[in-house]
Amino acid sequence: KILILDFGSQVTQLIARRVREAHVYCELHSFDMPIADIKAFAPKGIILSGGPNSVYESDYQANPEILNLGIPILGICYGMQWLAHTMGGEVSGGDQREFGYAQVHTEDSQFTNGIFDNQLNTLDVWMSHGDKVSKLPAGFKSIGHTPSCPYAIIENPQKHFYGVQFHPEVTHTKQGRELINRFVLDICQAKPSWTMPNYIEEAITKIRQQVGTDEVILGLSGGVDSSVAAALIHRAIGDQLTCVFVDHGLLRYQEAQMVMDMFGKNLGVNVIHVDASVDFLEKLAGETDPERKRKIIGAEFVEVFQHEASKRQNAKWLAQGTIYPDVIESAGAKTKKAHAIKSHHNVGGLPETLNLQLLEPLRDLFKDEVRELGVALGLPRDMVYRHPFPGPGLGVRILGEVKREYTDLLRRADHIFIEELRNTCDEDGLSWYDKTSQAFAVFLPVKSVGVMGDGRTYEYVVALRAVITSDFMTAHWAHLPYDLLGRVSNRIINEVRGINRVVYDVSGKPPATIEWE
């Protein structure tokens, strides 16, 4: 396994993704991970990430003892600067910043041998840095340079220490994957044993050891993470698992039916379907403020779930679909010195009040790995590759007060939109549903005038939203073809009585958010 020490770069998670794609297990920890913990983790090699700071700031130092562990180290950007600085080299401030594509001219070496383009001796890389190494420490040599950066790749072949000033983890660096594979597989000699069948086997053993003969309950939402967690735990302990599926009446078209069929019927999982839509709608009546709506939905969810859970006296464990990015985020959200990892919960406040132990079998996995696991466990691809859906559901897609009449209209309009997106296909076999990251309809409780046949109508408006994003922090609106938008609009207006106007949202995030509330 490989250890990645994070100095705060925006793309550190990508390093971990690339290492995992080489089928090598890795973990990401803060740069100041105590040396005793590092030794206990016993990595085959260490990767130092990039970061926004300067090596002359004393707050951003890893423990120099990592240099004496006798294992290979790869420093990326800030990581390379830290390595050079700590070993006696010099780093100088960036009057000349380099940002974007660059071509690195390389020499043959232990690290780069066979990777660069043989005719040109170049690597096409993505640079993003201000500071750079200006004097190499003893034992190092430069094996790659750009016109403005004499030390773009450095190596110390005796110690197996390497540094790259660019970012091999991003896809813009053409041979980045090969460089990371070279380091992880050839230089560190880490075993490529991180594969899905191995993972499933180990995870099942671990779940069985953890829970023994105890009962486990899990809040199933129909989303990818809780569904895959349910399938995995069920594979491990069968009927010791009970899922509680709280239907708040704010789900998508036929979603409750789909979840019950898939888990109850197809997989034979114990699922309790709690239809709490009446309670939720009652609590929401008259409320128009978005934040208060969210709070009401969250609190009601906890109450309904707790009520069901309290009926299962023997349950000792609460299972959750926490995934690795949640773990990293909750650790990183605290001050940089604090390591206590807060447990992530989608259904706020549950663990504390229920007095149950937490079972989180997906906490080592990235989202793509969770999806791969879901497919391997027999969940349908369509389900596992679904767009994200917010916990408060249609509650944040109906502007202002939520009423059953509105949820019914919105559900049908949204279903038509999604169906039409799925029914498209480009030359690569991808539909617009695949090509967008999230798409949905929003209900606007305003009426506008229309004409249908000989009559005047005065009905509601639906807005369509489709975005493309990699992290949901920023997003572009999707440039859907006009004929597709036209088809969706026609169908909604013809098939959903009560809606006579459809508009398309052309706002990016920022300044708009993805959801309307």
Contacting range for ligand XMP; rule: CB under 6 A; set: 12-20, 245-253, 353-361, 387-395: 387-395
* Residue 513 CB, nearest approach to ligand XMP (Å): 3
Contacting range for ligand XMP; rule: CB under 6 A; set: 322-330, 347-355, 406-414, 508-516: 508-516
CA 6/CA 14 separation, integer angstroms = 11
Using the rule CB under 6 A, is 221 a contact of ligand XMP? Answer: no
Using the rule CB under 6 A, is 388 a contact of ligand XMP? Answer: yes
CA 366/CA 144 separation, integer angstroms = 33
Contacting range for ligand XMP; rule: CB under 6 A; set: 4-12, 191-199, 404-412, 509-517: 509-517
Closer by beta carbon to ligand XMP, 205 or else 513: 513
Among 17, 29, 403, 509, binds ligand XMP (CB under 6 A): 509
Closer by beta carbon to ligand XMP, 289 or else 426: 289
| H or E element at residue 217 | strand 215-219
Contacting range for ligand XMP; rule: CB under 6 A; set: 55-63, 263-271, 388-396, 426-434: 388-396
Task: Please enumerate in sequence order all residues whose Cβ is within 8 A of that of 348, keeping only pairs 6 or more positions apart, or say none.
Answer: 298, 302
**Separation of CA 427 from chain center:** 28
* Residue 366 CB, nearest approach to ligand XMP (Å): 17
Number of neighbours of residue 159 by Cβ within 10 angstroms: 16
CB 410, CB 398: distance < 8 Å: yes
CB 16, CB 26: distance < 8 Å: yes
Among 184, 269, 480, 514, binds ligand XMP (CB under 6 A): 514
Number of neighbours of residue 333 by Cβ within 10 angstroms: 9
For residue 397, which amino acid is it? R
Using the rule CB under 6 A, is 392 a contact of ligand XMP? Answer: yes
* Residue 437 CB, nearest approach to ligand XMP (Å): 8
Edge-to-edge strand ranges of the sheet holding 215-219: 270-275, 241-247, 215-219, 315-319, 357-359
Strands 90-92 and 132-135: antiparallel
Q: Does 225 count as an annotated binding residue?
A: yes
Using the rule CB under 6 A, is 219 a contact of ligand XMP? Answer: no
Using the rule CB under 6 A, is 348 a contact of ligand XMP? Answer: no
Q: Does 142 count as an annotated binding residue?
A: no
Count residues binding ligand XMP (CB under 6 A): 11
Contacts of ligand XMP in 416-445 (CB under 6 A): 438
Using the rule CB under 6 A, is 93 a contact of ligand XMP? Answer: no
Q: CA neighbours within 13 Å on the CB side: how many for 195? A: 5
Among 206, 334, 472, 474, binds ligand XMP (CB under 6 A): 472
Task: Please enumerate in sequence order all residues whose Cβ is within 8 A of that of 434, keeping only pairs 6 or more positions apart, or say none.
Answer: 385
| H or E element at residue 439 | strand 438-452
Contacting range for ligand XMP; rule: CB under 6 A; set: 45-53, 189-197, 235-243, 386-394: 386-394
Strands 438-452 and 149-156: unpaired
Closest CA to 366 of 415, 323, 307, 408: 323
Using the rule CB under 6 A, is 476 a contact of ligand XMP? Answer: no
**Secondary structure of residue 136 in the 3-state scheme:** coil
Give the residue numbers annotated as catalytic, written as ranges.
77, 167, 169
Contacts of ligand XMP in 271-330 (CB under 6 A): 294
Q: DSSP assignment of 44-86, as one string?
A: SEEEE---SS-TTSTTS---GGGGGS-S-EEEETHHHHHHHHH
* Residue 386 CB, nearest approach to ligand XMP (Å): 12
Q: Does 223 count as an annotated binding residue?
A: yes
Using the rule CB under 6 A, is 189 a contact of ligand XMP? Answer: no
Q: Does 224 count as an annotated binding residue?
A: yes
Q: Does 131 count as an annotated binding residue?
A: no
Using the rule CB under 6 A, is 391 a contact of ligand XMP? Answer: yes
CB 102, CB 143: distance < 8 Å: no
Among 156, 390, 466, 488, binds ligand XMP (CB under 6 A): 390
* Structure-token pair, residue 445: 């409780």
Closer by beta carbon to ligand XMP, 326 or else 420: 326
**Secondary structure of residue 27 in the 3-state scheme:** strand
Annotated binding site for ATP: 221-227
Annotated binding site: 221-227
Binding site for ligand XMP (CB under 6 A): 294, 388, 390-392, 438, 472, 509, 513-515
